Amino acid sequence: MITLDHVSRFYKEVPAVEDLTFRVEKGEIFGLLGPSGAGKTTTIRLLTTLLPVQSGSAQVAGHDVTKAGKQVRANIGYISQTGSSDRTRTGRANLRLIGRLYGLSDAAIKTRTASLATILQITDILDRRVSTYSGGQKRRLDIALGLLHQPTVLFMDEPTTGLDPQNRKDLLQYLKKLAGNGLTILFTTHLMDEADVLADRVSIIDQGKIVALDTPDHLKQSLQGDILTLSIGAHDQTVASPLDDLPYIRNVHQLSAEDFRMEIADSAANVPEVFQRLTIAGLTIHSFSITKPTLNDVFIARTGHAPITSDTQETK
């Protein structure tokens, strides 16, 4: 349903996305995972025809995004990071407008509006102006607007922005149900746990390039054993040096002036030797934790740095 073949986009010779290649199948939920500025929003804008592809090619729902933009737009729903509703209109009026733009009959608009309003819990606010909505209410309306015309492919940029934990959980369950009925979903997020829960496969993107692509479970299993995180007192050497020759230690990364992270095989048996090595080297361990790998750990292992996120809109 979605295919990218060596797609690149540059801003003044600076790559926003570079040589992206992946395929999303019908009914699959595919996540673009990465920090703000990684190129996730640019990728969605290319696939929804809001930006032209400068090199490579892309198809959505069987149509080339460059040559058949109108057909692409007829088959997709797009929920942007900032939303698309008119604040001066009521929620119902916004839905009616979108329905008419897509050629739906008044009866179909009424039926779809009632159904989506019930599912997304916005029935009681439909006749209020959007300017009076809370952030979570506005986000749920945005989602209804993207689904009203029953697209075959849905693009969502940071879909749970503004939602409280319960509404976030409900939305993720609803999206899984839609995919089970054949809807193809591509979403972006900087939330590692969200991608882990929702996505069938994820593509981790950093500085415009794909650094990993697989199922969340396979990506986590690619790391060796557990994750050992240490907080070390004042020091003038890297933690890696005393551990260089230990075969069960891999991918040692310094997260801050005092914090270090590494993969460790058979942690129960090997952590004592790690601590002994660091103590002999004159390093004081203030605290430590041992956890199972997460997608955040995969990101660090593949990029060498922790994902930097913010609440600002991605500009790449």
| Coil vs helix vs strand at 157 | strand
221 vs 148: CA distance, rounded Å = 39
- Alpha-carbon gap, residue 125 to 298, rounded angstroms: 41
Residue-range domain boundaries for the chain: 2-216, 224-292
| Overall size of the chain counted in residues | 316
Sign of CA dihedral 172, 296, 189, 129: positive
pLDDT score for 237: 64
Q: Which two tokens stand for residue 160?
A: 């749970």
Q: What is the pTM of this model?
A: 0.86
- Residue 274 to residue 286: CA distance in whole angstroms: 14
pLDDT of the residue at 314 = 41
The segments of the chain whose pLDDT lies below 70 read: 234-237, 308-316
Per-residue pLDDT of 197-225, as tens digits, reads 999 999 999 999 999 999 999 999 999 79
* One CATH from 3.40.50.1980, 3.30.470.10, 3.40.50.300, 3.40.50.10470 for 2-216: 3.40.50.300
Model pLDDT, residue 21: 97
Query: What does the pLDDT read at residue 292?
Result: 93
Euclidean distance between CA atoms 125 and 250, whole angstroms:
53
User: How large is the angle between the packed helices 135-147 and 165-180, nearest 10 degrees?
Assistant: 10
**Rounded Cα–Cα distance for residues 313 and 25 (Å):** 28
The tens digit of pLDDT for each residue in 265-306 reads 999 999 999 999 999 988 899 999 999 999 999 998 888 887
Tell me the fold of 224-292.
Alpha-Beta Plaits (3.30.70)
User: What are the DSSP calls for 16-28, one per residue?
Assistant: EEEEEEEEE-TT-
